[in-house]
Amino acid sequence: MIRYATLMIALLCSYIVTAQNEGIGYLHSVKLEVDESIRSSSEYVKNFDGYTGNKGSYSKEIYDESEVNSILINIAHSIELNSAIGSVKYLPAQRSPNVKKALGKIGKSVLNEGVLEQKATFHTFDYFPSDGLKKSSKTKYEAYYEVKVKVKSGGVASDMIVMGKVKKKGFLRYNIDVTVIAKDQNNKSLWKKKGTCIDFSEQVKGNVGKRYYKIESVRKLSLETIENSVLIAVEQLLKTE
């Protein structure tokens, strides 16, 4: 009798959890890569908890826990607004860097339109969640989301100076590749969207070209510009049919 009662309670709890998560999605993995050559640097030391207040040698800027969670909240909200799902929860920032992500920091050649144009090294930002579907699906949701973002450089140029005067302003060009994958608990694909964004004028002052967005008098992308551009790119992709 006790075993029967225990079993009934377990089944009831399972039913309640399942019912509560109906119409709810779960963002379990986000991978953000940025071309190393266009990342900004800072002399202030920063880690998962934020700026330490100390100075050191200049190093590339990173996102801390609160900044990562801010990006995750906005991505989850974009999925909510542009899908049939009721709401989207997300796995928060992770303190321990993922080993698989570290492997993504190795430099590799970039093939554009069949021509080997340059050798680019992409940095994969730490602290973003990267749980696999097998682990995430232990809690039942209606859909599970994986997002991959790659910020690519289209070239950087310094000011053209003639006779001591700036003849032509320097610039930075970039675009962003985005992939969003939705699956069910059984690893079956629900939908997948993939595309490249070249228009960030909603938040970033610049000009739209054929393949890249161009910002004048800038040679590095700030963390704020990267975040704003990434969120625009994700939202634009999700709005596509």
208 lies in some domain:
yes
1 lies in some domain:
no
Q: Is the pLDDT of residue 18 over 50?
A: no
Which of the four pLDDT bands, split at 50, 70 and 90, describes residue 97?
Answer: low
For residue 20, what pLDDT is reported? 53
The 10s digit of each residue's pLDDT in 132-190 is: 999 999 999 999 999 999 999 999 998 766 666 766 788 999 999 999 999 999 999 99
**Alpha-carbon span 33 to 185, nearest angstrom:** 27
Give the helix/strand (H/E) hosting 186: none
157 lies in some domain:
yes
Sorted by sequence, the CB contacts under 8 Å of residue 33 that are 6+ apart come out as 104, 122, 123, 124, 125, 148, 149, 150, 151
Q: Average pLDDT, whole number, for the chain? A: 85
Q: Is the pLDDT of residue 62 over 90?
A: yes
**Alpha-carbon span 20 to 29, nearest angstrom:** 22
- Count up the domains in the chain and report the number: 1
**Alpha-carbon span 19 to 89, nearest angstrom:** 15
Sorted by sequence, the CB contacts under 8 Å of residue 196 that are 6+ apart come out as 175, 176, 177, 178
**Alpha-carbon span 9 to 179, nearest angstrom:** 41
Higher-pLDDT residue of 205 and 16 is: 205
85 lies in some domain:
yes
Contact 64, 52 (CB under 8 A): no
3-state percent breakdown (helix, strand, coil) of the chain, nearest 5: 25, 40, 30
| Six token digits for residue 235 | 């939202």
Domain that holds residue 224: 24-239
| Six token digits for residue 204 | 């970033």
User: Alpha carbon of 139 to those of 69, 79, 184: distances in Å?
Assistant: 21, 19, 12
Percentage above 70 pLDDT, the chain: 79
Q: Which residues pair with 241 in a beta bridge?
A: none
Higher-pLDDT residue of 122 and 14 is: 122
Higher-pLDDT residue of 209 and 20 is: 209
226 lies in some domain:
yes
For residue 117, what pLDDT is reported? 45
Contact 75, 90 (CB under 8 A): yes
Q: Is the pLDDT of residue 17 over 50?
A: no
18 lies in some domain:
no
Tokens 């080993």 map to which residue? 99
**Alpha-carbon span 149 to 147, nearest angstrom:** 7
* DSSP secondary structure, 80-104, as one string: HHTSS-SEEEE----SSPPHHHHHT
For residue 106, what pLDDT is reported? 45
Higher-pLDDT residue of 188 and 105 is: 188
Length of the chain: 241
The answer to which of 101-115, 116-130, 180-194 has the lowest mean pLDDT is: 101-115
Which of the four pLDDT bands, split at 50, 70 and 90, describes residue 54?
Answer: confident
19 lies in some domain:
no
